[in-house]
């Protein structure tokens, strides 16, 4: 198979993609009720409009007191305080409350219920407390003006809880339509599969790329539309891509990225729009394309990913997911030498291993663009950048975890 000749570096490709994302996505949002925002991508920075807590509140079940009234209390020398129901305490007064309740005025500490005994009109205290003991103070969790979620953050259940605690009912989230098209005569959509024997006799393969890429889109917090596979027919493929561009903001195709006799995708995209690059110095995933097109006055983006599943997963990870949902990374030691070549960024699938009580990484493989099982066995990946010839055993490397 022939490949594209003019390759750009990974960093150059990433910068070109991210610049276009900033241009195209600046108005692609919708307001969503906070209770429905889980799993979405936040469109803008959100700052706290108030303190949490908004008032000093009890962190325990017990009694609000003026701390100085309890100094010296013990099991053998309890201090007696008058039980009141007022919202303000005077000296030698005590107020019963539960966890989360607002402290009455002038009180500054809470005695846990376990260290007290209540009578009709007074309470015996068997331990002293310091000022602010067992108290959640105003702004202890969040202060007014704090940044509570950043633009681009994937909204977790914890974000939902925090934002709703601030009284925010709706937030802006990215609203993008993403179309996924797999190309190739050899592909069979899973719903058309009748038996395993059918694959063997027809020499076809299941269109797993559409499902994988669609789920990768969902993992980033966006919504995909997977189209039925398109055969290696120039007219049909052009029609399918144009229709997908009408219906979506971003279109992702898989297959047809190199320059074989039946690889029409790049030539079709050149007709439809502006090809920004075709070919990146990464392994796996070298023959990846990126373009823009204007449809009915609206700018659209197109990604042409490889037909090989591992290559297309790497291309998606580095150029699309890396914008919306960058992986968290850790530095770990590598358990053996690994070589690379200058001028190319290698993406190495790795798994975590424990050696003499130390967690390290074991490289699985760099090559094998179609070996999908290497992805299911991997815990993440490492990058060997283009200016590095490899790593030696026990060197620390940056690992991006799945």
- Please list the pLDDT of the chain residue by residue as tens digits (402 residues): 444 568 999 999 999 999 999 999 989 999 999 999 999 999 999 999 999 999 999 999 999 999 999 999 999 999 999 999 988 999 999 999 999 999 999 999 999 999 999 999 999 999 999 999 999 999 999 999 999 999 999 999 999 999 999 999 999 999 999 999 999 888 988 898 888 888 888 888 889 999 999 999 999 999 999 999 999 899 999 999 999 999 999 999 998 766 554 568 899 999 999 999 999 999 999 999 999 999 999 999 999 999 999 999 999 999 999 999 999 999 999 999 999 999 999 999 999 999 999 999 999 966 777 788 889 999 999 999 999 999 999 999 999 999
Question: Is the same domain home to 223 and 345?
Answer: no
Question: Is the same domain home to 37 and 169?
Answer: yes
CATH code for the domain in which residue 96 is found = 2.170.190.11
**Parallel, antiparallel, or unpaired: how do β-strands 46-47 and 122-125 relate?**
unpaired
34: left (phi over 0), alpha (psi -120 to 50) or beta: alpha
DSSP for 230-277 reads B-S-HHHHHHHHHHHHHH-SEEEEES--S--TT--HHHHHHHHSEEEE
pTM for the full predicted model = 0.87
Give the position of tokens 């807590």. 53
CATH code for the domain in which residue 153 is found = 3.90.105.10
**Domain interval for residue 380:** 329-401
Give the position of tokens 């990913």. 305
Distance of CA 335 to the CA centre of its chain: 28
Q: Token digits for 202?
A: 């027809």
Domain boundary among 278, 297, 324: 324
Whether 118 maps to a domain, the answer reads yes
Whether 1 maps to a domain, the answer reads no
Question: Is the same domain home to 192 and 151?
Answer: no
Question: Is the same domain home to 240 and 343?
Answer: no
DSSP for 352-379 reads EEEETTEEEEEEEES--TT-THHHHH-S
Domain boundary among 158, 173, 188: 173
Closest CA to 370 of 308, 305, 306, 282: 308
pLDDT value for 193 = 85
Question: Is the same domain home to 353 and 306?
Answer: no
Domain boundary among 136, 163, 190: 136
Please answer whether residues 362 and 350 qualify as being in contact, where contact means their C-beta atoms are separated by less than 8 angstroms: yes
């Amino acid at each position: 198979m022939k490949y594209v000749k003019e390759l750009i570096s990974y960093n150059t490709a990433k910068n070109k993609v991210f610049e276009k994302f900033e241009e195209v996505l600046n108005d692609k949002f919708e307001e969503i009720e906070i209770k429905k925002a889980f799993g979405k991508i936040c469109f803008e920075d959100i700052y706290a409009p108030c303190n949490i807590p908004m008032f000093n509140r009890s962190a325990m079940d017990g009694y609000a007191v003026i701390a100085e009234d309890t100094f010296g209390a013990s099991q053998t020398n309890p201090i007696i305080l008058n039980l009141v129901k007022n919202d303000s305490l005077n000296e030698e007064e005590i107020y019963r409350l539960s966890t989360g309740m607002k402290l009455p005025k002038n009180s500054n500490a809470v005695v846990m219920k376990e260290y007290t005994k209540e009578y009709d009109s007074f309470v015996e205290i068997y331990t002293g407390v310091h000022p602010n003991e067992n108290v959640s103070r105003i702004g202890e969790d969040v202060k007014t003006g704090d940044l509570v979620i950043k633009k681009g953050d994937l909204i977790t259940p914890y974000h939902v809880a925090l934002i709703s605690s601030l009284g925010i009912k709706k937030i802006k989230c990215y609203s993008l339509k993403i179309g996924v098209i797999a190309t190739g005569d050899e592909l069979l959509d899973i719903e058309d599969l009748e038996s395993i024997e059918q694959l063997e006799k027809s020499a076809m393969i299941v269109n797993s790329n559409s499902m994988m890429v669609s789920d990768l889109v969902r993992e980033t917090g966006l919504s995909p539309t997977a189209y039925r596979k398109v055969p290696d027919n120039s007219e049909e493929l052009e029609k399918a891509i144009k229709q997908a561009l009408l219906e979506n903001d971003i279109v992702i195709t898989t297959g047809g990225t190199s320059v074989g006799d039946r690889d029409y995708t790049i030539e079709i995209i050149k007709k439809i729009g502006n090809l920004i690059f075709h070919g990146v110095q990464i392994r796996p995933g070298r023959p990846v394309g990126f373009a823009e097109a204007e449809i009915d006055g609206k700018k659209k983006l197109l990604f042409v990913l490889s037909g090989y599943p591992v290559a297309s997963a790497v291309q998606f990870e580095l150029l699309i997911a890396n914008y919306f949902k960058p992986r968290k990374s850790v530095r770990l030691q590598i358990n053996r030498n690994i070589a690379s070549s200058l001028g190319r960024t290698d993406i190495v699938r790795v798994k975590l291993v424990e050696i003499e009580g130390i967690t390290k990484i074991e490289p699985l493989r760099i090559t094998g663009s179609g070996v999908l099982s290497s992805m299911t066995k991997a815990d993440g990946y490492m990058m060997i950048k283009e200016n590095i010839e490899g790593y030696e055993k026990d060197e620390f490397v940056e690992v991006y975890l799945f």
